[in-house]
Amino acid sequence: MAAATASAAASLVVLLSITAALSLISPSLALTCNPQPSFPNKRTYSSCAALPHLNATLHFTFDPANSSLSLAYSAAPPSSSGGGWVAWAINPTSTGMVGAQAMMALKSSSGSVVAKTFNISSYHSIVESKLSFDVWDLSADEAAGGTMRLFASVKVPAGSRSLNQLNQVWQVGPSVTSGVPDRHSMATDNMQSKGTLDLVAGQSTSGGGGGSGTKKKNIHGILNAVSWGIMFPIGAIIARYVRAFPSADPAWFYLHAFCQSSAYAIGVAGWGTGLKLGSESKAIRYTGHRNIGIALFAVATVQIFALFLRPKKDHKYRFYWNIYHHGLGYTILVLGILNVFKGLDILQPENKWKSAYIIFISVLGGVAVLLELITWIIVLKRKSGKPTKPYDGYNNGQGRQQPLAI
């Protein structure tokens, strides 16, 4: 029974690890520029770039003689209810959102679409204002299918003309309140919607390590999901239920120790990648996820010492050690699963991956309930098998029942 349980646990770990690894291979749409649509006032553009995130496109014409750029940015807000907004920006000083000089098309709940300019001085400050470069012919409309289009001509900032390239940032948001865009989603596509636009070659590339950043986040998510969300629960089930079978002793202990030690090692790696991600994006904070992660790592580190502080079964402190070990173990179990779900909410992978984890946890919970019943049956049978009768059998063949010696 112990061998079968060990094999099943190992198979579950491998299966879930492979499943999680597959989440790195997220299908992406092969975006291409369609034949140029019909723009208002018979506008035409010499180049078109299919931006790598948010299903957005940028039609543009660059005039190097006077460093002017005429553009038409097209994207769809994530929600049609309550309005929405789309934005395209040039960042003269950096590669991200902070410092971006943005042009936005905003749709109110009444359905009207207006174009405005905003200075993105910080992640928490979006101020409607003039930009650091000249903008003219600014307008916006809504095309078929809910796509919003932003039109403008700009004087390309002097600091962006090196090799005829500029840093661009684009975004979409769900709603507008009092003429001000509400916060956009923190999904991967939203966080990576930045890059470099080659004005001469007419090409857009994903910049700022966007692909690498996404890969790091996926690696961080996989390591922690496998550790805290998969291996620790399996190790806990092994310790609680496999030990009920006499034939599994002491195999269950070594299997439990190996499973939890391996989970901790993987969790340390996941925690380290989380620290690295945090240091690379100081302006972005997922406070709840981070705090739970810190608490989880601290509790697990204390728990790992249980292996070295474990007294013998007949030691007078063994009772207190059991309380300490079991209490921390259940705390890790709850915090680990909770933080996996928080991480999924941040990464926002395809729904099937979250559904797969929910199914896994549900199945594991069902197995735990079933094993709980089985172990209780075993324990009760053992208790009922102890000698409790006041007499047993006959003495000297005389047919008289004799009391058992106590």
pLDDT under 70: residue ranges of the chain? 1-36, 79-82, 109, 123-125, 158-163, 201-214, 280-285, 348, 385-406
pLDDT digits (tens, 9 = 90+) for 191-234: 888 888 888 766 666 654 444 566 778 889 899 999 999 999 99
Residue 194: its pLDDT value, please?
A: 86
The predicted pLDDT at position 374 comes to 86
Q: Which long-range contacts (C-beta less than 8 Å, at least 24 apart) are formed by 108-114? A: 108/83, 108/176, 108/179, 109/82, 109/83, 109/176, 113/140, 113/141, 113/142, 113/148, 114/140, 114/179
The answer to whether the predicted template modeling score (pTM) of the entire model surpasses 0.75 is no
Domain architecture of the chain: domains with CATH: 2-24+211-384 (1.20.120.1770), 40-208 (2.60.40.1210)
Q: 53-96: per-residue pLDDT in tens?
A: 888 888 988 888 888 899 999 988 886 565 788 999 988 877 77
Query: Which pLDDT value is given to residue 23?
Result: 41
Q: What's the confidence (pLDDT) of residue 215?
A: 75
